[in-house]
């Protein structure tokens, strides 16, 4: 992933956000040393953002699509009340096993329910309503994930979508990669979707926040 925010600014933002816990730093370090694609891990600034969003929306049920090492799941769990719950979906057994180990030794083990398998199939089995959804799995399926969760969102619910700037590649209309095209089309669709209101934040690799509009009021 190409860094969009200049390194010094990224470092300043990190230094002026609440510090990462020792356990989260250790998880990140171990992921770098032992898992493939450690750049997929969202990291401390996005982690703190997710934690604050979960906390401020008073979410009780969170859905995550794309667990990887469990970093963002644990970050969101920190924003939940003690009777809150997060269901996190991961298709890779290897990543799920890594995440499970770290979840088990965290203070949030009783709140995190990790489901292994294709996320779209898992979502079909979940009634919701979800107070907060974090979409962060395969980019070509973002539209499908969005459609699968939109009607399962609680009235005050939020969806956060990661990597919507995709290292800036979404600006390149000639970039032929399936991921880039899917993200660019998703972003274009979303900006004009009258069912929702959204804002794209230029945090890290782009994080888009979405809420459903009430058909009666707006
Ligand atoms: C970007 S990583 C998630 C990072 C994590 N949310 C974080 O911030 O630390 C994306 C993850 O989605 C998983 N994934 C990809 N396609 C999937 C699918 N169809 N169903 C479930 N998980 C999937 C990948 O195996 C990978 O672990």
Q: Whose CA is nearest to atom 26 of ligand 1?
A: 68
* Domain 7-212, CATH: 3.40.50.150
Distances 2 to 17, 165, 169 between C-alpha atoms, Å: 22, 10, 10
Q: Could you state, in order of their start, the residue ranges of all structural domains in the chain?
A: 7-212
Read off the pLDDT of each residue in 178-197 and give the average, rounded to a whole number.
Answer: 98
Provide the b/e sequence for 78-104 (b: ≥16 CB within 10 Å).
bbbeeebbbbbbbbeeebbebbbebbe
pLDDT digits (tens, 9 = 90+) for 61-75: 999 999 999 999 999
Report the atom number in ligand 1 closest to the C-alpha of 64.
6
145-185 per-position pLDDT tens digit: 999 999 999 999 999 999 999 999 999 999 999 999 999 99
At 129, phi and psi to the nearest 5? -75, 145
Res 215 pLDDT > 80: no
Q: Which residues line ligand 1 (CB under 6 A)?
A: 40-42, 66-69, 71-72, 89-92, 95, 118-119, 136-138, 141
Q: Which atom of ligand 1 is nearest to the CA of 40?
A: 1
Q: Tell me, what's the pLDDT at 141?
A: 98
66 CA: nearest ligand 1 atom: 12
Please tell me whether the overall predicted TM-score, pTM, comes out greater than 0.95 for this model: yes
pLDDT band at 218 (very low <50, low <70, confident <90, very high): low
């Amino acid at each position: 992933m190409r860094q969009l925010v200049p390194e010094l600014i990224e470092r300043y933002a990190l230094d002026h956000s609440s510090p990462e816990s020792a356990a989260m730093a250790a998880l990140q370090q171990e992921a770098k040393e032992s898992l493939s694609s450690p750049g997929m891990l969202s990291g401390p600034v996005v982690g703190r953002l997710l934690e604050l969003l979960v906390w401020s929306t008073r979410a009780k049920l969170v859905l995550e699509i794309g667990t990887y090492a469990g970093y963002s799941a644990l970050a969101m769990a920190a924003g939940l009340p003690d009777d809150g719950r997060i269901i996190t979906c991961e298709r890779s057994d290897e990543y799920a096993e890594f995440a499970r180990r770290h979840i088990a030794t965290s203070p949030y083990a009783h709140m995190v329910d990790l489901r292994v398998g294709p996320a779209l199939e898992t979502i079909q089995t979940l009634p919701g309503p979800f107070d907060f959804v974090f979409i962060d799995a395969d980019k070509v399926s973002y539209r499908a994930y969005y459609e699968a969760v939109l009607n399962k969102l609680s009235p005050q619910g939020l969806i956060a979508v990661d990597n919507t700037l995709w290292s800036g590649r979404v600006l390149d209309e000639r970039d032929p990669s399936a991921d880039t095209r899917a993200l660019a089309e998703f972003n274009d669709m979303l900006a004009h979707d009258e069912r929702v209101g959204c804002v794209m934040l230029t945090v890290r690799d782009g994080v888009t926040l979405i809420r459903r509009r009430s058909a009666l009021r707006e």
